[in-house]
Chains A and B, each alone.
Chain A
Amino acid sequence: QQKVQQSPESLIVPEGGMASLNCTSSDRNVDYFWWYRQHSGKSPKMLMSIFSNGEKEEGRFTVHLNKASLHTSLHIRDSQPSDSALYLCAASPWVGDNSKLIWGLGTSLVVNP
Chain B
Amino acid sequence: NSKVIQTPRYLVKGQGQKAKMRCIPEKGHPVVFWYQQNKNNEFKFLINFQNQEVLQQIDMTEKRFSAECPSNSPCSLEIQSSEAGDSALYLCASSLWTGISNERLFFGHGTKLSVL
Contacts and interface: CB of A to CB of B under 8 A. Distances in A.
A98 B95 contact: yes
A76 interface: no
Interface residues of B, number: 26
Interface residues of A, number: 24
B107 A49 contact: no
B55 A99 contact: yes
B102 A43 contact: no
B5 to A, nearest CB: 11
B71 interface: no
Interface in B38-72: 40-43, 45, 48, 55-56
Contact of A95 (B40, B41, B100, B106): B100
Contacts of B45: 99, 101
A82 B97 CA distance: 32
A113 interface: no
A94 B102 contact: yes
A81 B102 CA distance: 31
B64 to A, nearest CB: 18
Interface string A39-62: 001111110010000000000000
Nearest to B57: A99
Nearest to B42: A105
B27 interface: no
Contact of A46 (B33, B97, B100, B105): B105
Contact of B4 (A43, A86, A97, A101): A43
A41 B107 CA distance: 12
B35 to A, nearest CB: 8
B2 A43 contact: yes
